[in-house]
Amino acid sequence: MPPIISVKQLSKTYASGFHALKHIDLDIHQGEIFALLGPNGAGKTTLISIICGIVNPSEGTVLADGHDVVRDYRSARSKIGLVPQELTTDAFETVWNTVSFSRGLFGKSANPAHVEKVLKELSLWNKKDSRLMTLSGGMKRRVMIAKALSHEPQILFLDEPTAGVDVELRRDMWAMVRALRDTGVTIILTTHYIDEAEEMADRIGVINKGELILVENKAELMNKLGRKQLALQLQNPLQGIPAALSDYPLELSADGQQLVYTFDAQSEHTGIDALLRRLGEAGIDFKDLKTSQSSLEDIFVDLVRERA
Ligand SMILES: Nc1ncnc2c1ncn2[C@@H]1O[C@H](COP(=O)(O)OP(=O)(O)OP(=O)(O)O)[C@@H](O)[C@H]1O
Ligand SMILES: [Mg+2]
């Protein structure tokens, strides 16, 4: 199956001369949840805006469900729902009218049953006659999602969907995103919450300073870059790492109280048993030990720092 979104050699230079995107190549597959991670100003919103036809590319092409987003804008855009990072709502309009009107903008005939379903799924049904200015921030965000879903898009972009959203609504939104994916909708989201990407995404792309520096299956990413560490709390502090242990990748804390052993989480032989035996032979006693695994957050911070 061809990718539902195909980005080829995409670059963007804003009128100010700023290079916001540099030669981006990216394919998104139908039915996946793709998370785009990157620090502030990395180019996430720019990339999304180009795919959605809001910002013009300087170079390169984007196809959405086979339609060129520039030359065949209307067809491409009708496949796409966008929840923008900035909330823009018409303060005096009611929830029902806003969402119904949005559907009309895409040339779809009125479908009150669909609007009702969307509002109910987003727990907005009891607010359908409220004016937007009377809603809380989280409710406004849900209205933005309802608008994006009003024309039954196959592809949904969520730009920072859970920024400033409380924990409960965040969970609700995750559930909603999964339910949408289960109906075949392809989801692309940006987030600053790494745990959100870890929880939700099938694949992860990391963008930094306009360059897509990595695209990887989430599970493979964690496997490939994930490290495990064993920290031993020593009974008696050490001055240095004893010669008998010099062939192990060990680090001693500054106060000499803790030895940290880093090992490959994927390897069958972690070497822990041999290390502990060797410690015993060297007469080094420990009072506590714990293992930890690097999280997606550690991986992300390492990646972005490397390129700083
Ligand atoms: N209209 C514009 N004119 C000039 N520069 C712009 C414009 N829009 C964005 N930029 C610049 O392009 C870069 C990328 O911005 P973008 O909004 O895509 O980042 P982002 O990854 O979405 O960041 P954030 O995480 O803060 O939302 C930034 O340096 C920004 O200042
Ligand atoms: Mg942004």
Counting residues of the chain whose pLDDT is more than 70, the rounded percentage is: 96
Residue 195 and residue 280 in one domain: no
Gap from CA of 124 to ligand 2 centroid (Å): 26
**Spatial distance between the Cα atoms of 293 and 302, rounded to a whole number of angstroms:** 14
Q: Is the beta carbon of 16 within 6 A of some atom in ligand 1?
A: yes
Question: Of 225, 245, 275, which marks where a domain is finished?
Answer: 225
pTM: 0.81
Gap from CA of 45 to ligand 1 centroid (Å): 7
Q: Which ligand is nearest to the CA of 49?
A: 1
Residue 190 and residue 290 in one domain: no
Beta strands, E only, 160-202? 186-190
Ligand 1 atom, smallest distance to 160 CA: 27
| Residue 197 binned pLDDT confidence (cut-offs 50, 70, 90) | confident
**Spatial distance between the Cα atoms of 105 and 107, rounded to a whole number of angstroms:** 5
How confident is the model at residue 229, as a pLDDT? 84
Domain count for the chain, please give it: 2
Residue 233 located in a structural domain: yes
List the single range of 64-68, 172-176, 279-283 with lowest mean pLDDT: 172-176
In this model, does residue 217 exceed pLDDT 80? yes
Residue 110 located in a structural domain: no
* C-alpha dihedral, 118 to 120 to 126 to 130, nearest 10°: -10
Residue 5 located in a structural domain: yes
The residue behind tokens 């062939």 is: 247
Residue 281 and residue 158 in one domain: no
In this model, does residue 56 exceed pLDDT 90? yes
Residue 192 and residue 59 in one domain: yes
Mean residue pLDDT of the chain comes to 90
Mutate to test the pocket of ligand 1, among 11, 45, 50 (most ligand atoms within 8 A of CB): 45
**Parallel, antiparallel, or unpaired for β 203-208 and 211-217?**
antiparallel
For residues 267-275, give the mean pLDDT: 80
Ligand 1 atom, smallest distance to 39 CA: 25
Residue 204 and residue 248 in one domain: no
Q: Is the beta carbon of 45 within 6 A of some atom in ligand 1?
A: yes
Residue 125 located in a structural domain: no
Q: pLDDT: is 165 or 24 the higher one?
A: 24
Gap from CA of 137 to ligand 1 centroid (Å): 23
Ligand 1 atom, smallest distance to 12 CA: 12
How confident is the model at residue 265, as a pLDDT? 66
In this model, does residue 225 exceed pLDDT 70? no
pLDDT per residue as tens digits for the range 62-118: 999 999 999 999 999 999 999 998 877 788 999 999 999 999 888 889 999 999 999
Residue 158 and residue 281 in one domain: no
Residue 214 and residue 244 in one domain: no
Residue 192 and residue 280 in one domain: no
Range of the domain at 290: 226-295
Residue 2 and residue 71 in one domain: yes
In this model, does residue 201 exceed pLDDT 70? yes
Q: Is the beta carbon of 40 within 6 A of some atom in ligand 1?
A: yes
In this model, does residue 203 exceed pLDDT 80? yes
Residue 219 and residue 234 in one domain: no
DSSP per-residue string spanning 220-247: HHHHHH-EEEEEEEESS--SS--GGGTT
Question: Of 207, 225, 243, which marks where a domain is finished?
Answer: 225
Q: Is the beta carbon of 38 within 6 A of some atom in ligand 1?
A: yes
Residue 6 located in a structural domain: yes
In this model, does residue 196 exceed pLDDT 70? yes
Q: Is the beta carbon of 36 within 6 A of some atom in ligand 1?
A: no
* Domain containing residue 238: CATH number: 3.30.70.1560
Q: Which ligand is nearest to the CA of 22?
A: 1
* Domain containing residue 70: CATH number: 3.40.50.300
Residue 213 and residue 230 in one domain: no
Mutate to test the pocket of ligand 1, among 16, 18, 48, 157 (most ligand atoms within 8 A of CB): 18
> Could you give the angle at the alpha carbon of 240 between the alpha carbons of 239 and 242, nearest 5°?
120
Q: pLDDT: is 262 or 11 the higher one?
A: 11
For residues 237-257, give the mean pLDDT: 90
Residue 13 located in a structural domain: yes
pLDDT per residue as tens digits for the range 113-172: 999 999 998 889 999 999 999 998 888 888 999 999 999 999 999 999 888 778 888 888
Helix, strand or coil for residue 3? coil
* C-alpha dihedral, 296 to 298 to 299 to 304, nearest 10°: 120
Residue 141 located in a structural domain: no
In this model, does residue 21 exceed pLDDT 70? yes
Could you tell me which of 205, 196, 130, 201 has the C-alpha nearest to residue 169?
Answer: 196
Residue 111 located in a structural domain: no
- Closest protein CA for atom 26 of ligand 1: 40
Residue 209 and residue 258 in one domain: no
Q: Which ligand is nearest to the CA of 46?
A: 1
Structure token digits, residue 34: 């793709």
